Structure 1
Amino acid sequence: MASSQCCENPPALNSAGGDGKVVDSFGGLKAYVAGSDDSKAAVILISDIFGFEAPNLRKIADKVASSGYFVVVPDFLHGDPYAPENSETPIQVWIKSHTPEKGFEEAKPVIAALKEKGISTVGAAGYCWGAKVVVELAKAHEIQAAVLLHPSFVTVDDIKEVKCPISILGAEIDKMSPPELVKQFEQVLSANSGVAHFVKIFPGVAHGWSVRYSHDDAAAMKSAEEALADMIDWFNRNLK
């Protein structure tokens, strides 16, 4: 069950934000894309419940693209991100029609479209809701590297089935994936010598910190930028 912590600090969405472009269909989904078409390595960024128009997410996509990747941010929520102000649709109801499992199935044609355009390696990073989509891709041999940021709905059993290098970036203050659970993830990964991993718990930050930060908060910005640097480093090590 989704926690109210998932719903805190909703971003002001902006359909025109970012240095990239929005395309009507990439693997069947509307998507924000950034980066060089000549790149042989791609990164799929999977949003939290607030969707692909979140300005910080697009800034992140642009920065990942500037590191040499073709980046796709698909609209897995089909223009219907969670709206906390809509009291008629509480998160528990919304999530039933926006399951991460559906996102996983819809990610497969996106990966196929990347391969059709000449991409040879694909990584995926997911925030909160999106992290569950990414772990499903990592379990299914669909991607070559995974990053989970303050994941929601991810279980120890999920982590046991991961087939590719995985980085898990957790928050000290997180009801969805508290540090105790993230440490369990690390123990599972440490016991699996076949899967490279990097696990880190960021001190003093709450669930959502890496994508729902305020630009007026220097400490929040610093932690978010550190998470972004860790993510790019993981992809550089495992995709290029």
Structure 2
Amino acid sequence: MANEAKPCPCDIGDRMDYGGLGQEVQIEHIKAYVVKPSSASYKAIIVIQDIFGWQLPNTRYMADMLAASGYIEVDAVLRYLKEQCGAKHIGAVGFCWGGVATHYLALQYPEIKAGVSVYGIVREREDRYDLKTPTLFIFGEKDDVIPLDLVSVLEAKLKEKCTVDYQVKIFLGQTHGFVHRKREDINPSDKPYIQEARTDMLNWLKKYM
């Protein structure tokens, strides 16, 4: 739990006033948020939220944005996507804690066609550079949670050991949470970076799915 001496690193940015276009569902023991595109799709993205969960309006906004680009969107499990949504191509996008989880998925599940880890990085596994999935890593230059020297090590080790496609991109002047926790309308100087990062995310998914 965050406190004044050591605030939660994810408790930054802006909370959106947003309800969402999808619906809440129960998948076995998991509650999830599902949103589908307007036309039929055989592609799906698992969105893994930060510690505030899928109930956070910002996370629902990102899910709806991906669905508008033609992906079935669900914070759930691969089996549900395949059996209930008819997904044949599955990707993963994660923010903060969810970015770490996306990195884990990219290491263990080759059936994940594309991964986007947004300010998240696995630190303790020996095989953390042996990606099985093409993965885009997005970081902010002024992220107090993930220092640039850690990002530099990641990039160098991936270049040395990784056998699938990857990209590490650092956004100048940006902090932890900028992609999904900052509102463009009240952060005009950050808007170009927010939009560029979101476009990069969509382009990466489109390329590999």
Task: Please state if 1:114 is matched with 2:81.
Answer: yes
Tell me, in whole angstroms, the C-alpha distance in 2 between the residues paired with 1:144 and 1:185: 21
Q: Match for 1:33: what amino acid?
A: V
Note if 1:43 corresponds to 2:45: yes
Give the alignment's TM-score, normalised by structure 1.
Answer: 0.75
Give the AA of the match of 1:199.
V
For 1:200 and 1:182, how far apart are their aligned partners in 2? 9
Please give the residue correspondences for 1:117-196 in structure 2 after superposition, counting only pairs within 5 Å. 117=84, 118-141=86-109, 142-151=111-120, 154-155=123-124, 157=126, 159-192=128-161, 194-196=163-165
Runs (4+) off by over 6 Å: none
Map 1:89-104 onto structure 2 (within 5 A): none
Distance 1:193 1:137, change over 3 A: closer
Q: In 1, Cα distance between the equivalents of 2:103 and 2:146?
A: 14
Query: Unaligned stretches of 5+ in structure 2?
Result: none
**Structure with greater helix share of residues:** 1
Cα shift at 1:153? 5.0
Secondary structure, counterpart of 1:114 in structure 2: helix
Q: Quick one: structure 1 residues 26 and 223, their matched pair in 2 at CA, closer, same or farther if it must change by over 3 Å?
A: farther
Identity value in percent:
34
Give the AA of the match of 2:65. K
Residue aligned with 2:75, SS? strand
- Tell me, in whole angstroms, the C-alpha distance in 2 between the residues paired with 1:192 and 1:49: 30
Separation in 2, partners of 1:175, 1:22:
33
Mapped partners of 2:97, 2:162: distance in 1: 27
CA distance 1:172–1:5, change in 2 (3 Å): farther
User: Closer, same or farther in 2 for the Cα pair 1:152/1:165, shift >3 Å?
Assistant: closer
What letter is aligned with 1:116?
Answer: E
1:220 to 187, 190, 196: 190
2:30 corresponds to: 29
Matched positions, count:
201
Q: CA RMSD in A?
A: 2.4
Q: Which runs of 5+ in 1 are unaligned?
A: 75-109
For residues 152 and 167 of structure 1, do their structure 2 counterparts lie closer, same or farther at Cα, with a shift above 3 Å needed?
closer
Q: Is contact 2:131-2:162 (8 Å) kept? A: no
- Offset of 1:152 from its aligned partner? 5.2
Q: TM-score, normalised by structure 2?
A: 0.85
- The separation in 2 between residues aligned to 1:11 and 1:51, in whole angstroms, is 15
